[in-house]
A and B are shown apart, each in its own frame.
Chain A
Amino acid sequence: MSTEVASKPIKTSEPLFSKKNMRLLSDPLNENNPITVQVLGICSALAVTAQVKPAFIMALAVTFVTAASNVFISLLRNLIPGNIRIIVQLTIVATMVILVDLVLKAYVYDVSKQLSVFVGLIITNCIIMGRLEAFAMGNKPWASFLDGIGNGLGYAAILIIVAIMREILGSGTLLGYQVVPQFMYDAGFANNNLMVVPAGALFAVGIIIWVQRAQNKYYETE
């Protein structure tokens, strides 16, 4: 007996790196940047960017937490009762943050000391909650993962640019190495204290937003 199974047209699943998925990665880097466009996660951007090294570690930590919690929430999205979804989201984010905190303490203790409460405060970072609510609750795990990585990188990009500006102008160093030559100090140059305090970061972020909007021809509409 020969059974001819009519070959049904297979539902073509989307390729892993389709154009749409890549946009999830690239959008948050510029047009939909979490810091400069959505203006989220500002507190940590102001607090940890006095030097490049802690800013880099912080950026890594946030990228990891965003991506991982996006994936988990996306997997659970159909099981989470709507009424208590925020609590579930927080539990997962908190778990991820504790993981990150322990890893930092184990491997880069000095930076962990420098970041102090700001690692713990990743839990309250609006970018993460925002992505969980806006994206992971309604999309598949892979797309959610890419979205998390993209937003983390968008956050990281701004953090590192701000940190580079602040560390060079405020301390004359980059990653701890002297970059402003000694002869400039001898000639009367002085480090800019304003860049060491968080107010300097506010100016730096503001200038980045200004440049970015001028580039993207973005205008405020009534």
Chain B
Amino acid sequence: MLADRLKEKVSKALLDLAENIKPKVAKGKPFHFLHSFYDGNYTLMFQPGTTTKGKVHLRDGIDSKRTMFTVVIAMIPCLLFGMWNAGHQHFAPIIEIAERLISAISLDSLSQEVLWAKINALAAVDGGLADAMYEAGRRNLEGPELLSYIMPSIENIADAGFFSKFIYGAIRVLPIVVVSYVTGLGIEFAVAQMKGHPIAEGFLVSGMLIPLIMPVTIPLWMVVVATAFAVIIGKEIFGGTGMNILNVALTARVFIFFAYPTSISGDKVWIQDLVDGASGATALAQAFEGGVAGLSWSWFDMFIGSIPGSIGETSTLMILIGAAILIATGIGSWKIMLSVMLGAGVMGILLNIVGGMEGVENQFLAVPFYYHWVMGGLAFGAVYMATDPVTASQTEKGKWIYGFLIGFFAILVRVLNPAYPEGIMLAILFFNVFAPLIDHYIVEANIKRRLAYAKG
């Protein structure tokens, strides 16, 4: 088979290349400062020939690097949907305006003043139209000539379809992904080199999680600062990958949440280039204002995820696909995912009961519990972050308790504390801290039970 032979040739060439480079990065050689980088890439492409040397180990081909990659793959549906949604949220309001504008121009039903005000508002949020206006201005076009010159750009907006939206979103989302990876891996490589450790793979997942829990409008320098903070203060000073107490990606988010609150909360940050007058409020903000009646979307819309929100968190459907990958490969704990949802449901029902009492005015309390599952970042946090094996409970019973409490408190914070709409972030971080305590009591209880059994 040609394909097989090609594969063999390529992998042999790569292996030869790797073997050739190896002596150049050995200790004392001029390129030694790159040896961590070399090791990292070598073990990425080839399974290392060394095995564990400790006492009893389960030996498996799936090392932490391959575990991490599975999680990254499970996040791809969310990423792709997030790219499309970023474009969709930008285009949805202006498509409508452009369509009305086109029909108004053909009917000549608007006064010049109103017409140009609308066109200017559109040009303020659409690059193509702004460029056309600028070019027309340079050519001194006026009146009907100007209008016919910029007409294609307006039609272009009105015709924006799947690909325009996806590309628009991808152009905004990809830089955040790149910046997050470059910052985080740069720090990881530097630390590995300084301490003489091999490179830890922990950032492969965090680097993808960080962009997915940011609003699309987040300034890139904030991503750099937050990622550096999360990797250094959240992870490296505790001893690096596997030693951190708090989830790294959420540490980055919580840093921005408290350091630059206006960039990550409110109604204006979730949609890139929001046209004047359109609402950019998230489902949580709307539900806080007016309960279920205040929502612009149905339960199903929110399940599909074409709503404003952080890049990766909006689509519960895509998160379910990711969850299926994680559970099928045995990497994510279904117990944690399920118990977070259960905890959220129980809290939701409790709040519904309180909300149904006489004299209670808060409409957010009355939002049915199954709405909470698809609003905000609950599902995303449950699937990708509560399950983080480093920071979650390790005991099987502990996972149920840990997950349940996360869901329970996430909804409590979300509904009752308007200052912190994103309860899941705080709830996960809170129970990251409690996870060792939960484990401790589970283990103690096991010891006690078995001692009692042994005594008969």
Contacts and interface: CB of A to CB of B under 8 A. Distances in A.
Interface string A178-222: 000000000011101111010100010010001000000000000
Interface in B199-252: 219, 221-222, 233, 237
Contacts of B182: none
B286 interface: no
Interface of A: 188-190, 192-195, 197, 199, 203, 206, 210
B290 interface: no
B237 A193 contact: no
A192 B260 contact: yes
B260 A188 contact: no
B259 A194 contact: yes
Contact of A193 (B219, B233, B261): B261
Contacts of B261: 193
A192 B260 CA distance: 6
Contact of A190 (B255, B258, B263): B263
Contact of A192 (B219, B233, B259): B259
B429 to A, nearest CB: 13
Q: Is the interface of B mostly helix, strand, loop or mixed?
A: helix
Interface residues of B, number: 12
B119 to A, nearest CB: 28
Interface centre among A189, A192, A197, A210 (most CB of B within 10 A): A192
A200 to B, nearest CB: 8
Interface in B240-281: 255, 258-263
Interface string B21-45: 0000000000000000000000000
Contacts of A189: 221
10 contacts: A188-B221, A190-B260, A190-B263, A192-B259, A193-B258, A193-B259, A194-B255, A197-B258, A203-B233, A210-B237
A190 B233 CA distance: 21
A195 B225 CA distance: 14
Given A190-B263, A210-B237, A199 B258 contact: yes
A153 B20 CA distance: 58
A199 B222 CA distance: 19
A16 to B, nearest CB: 43
Nearest to B259: A194
Contacts of B222: 190
Contacts of B219: 188
A189 B219 CA distance: 9
A203 to B, nearest CB: 7
A194 B258 contact: yes
Contacts of A193: 258-261
Nearest to B255: A194
Interface centre among A188, A194, A195 (most CB of B within 10 A): A194
A4 B262 CA distance: 89
Nearest to B254: A194
Contacts of A203: 233
Given A189-B221, A194-B255, A194-B259, 15 more contacts: A188-B219, A188-B221, A190-B260, A190-B262, A190-B263, A192-B259, A192-B260, A193-B259, A193-B260, A193-B261, A194-B258, A195-B259, A203-B233, A206-B233, A210-B237
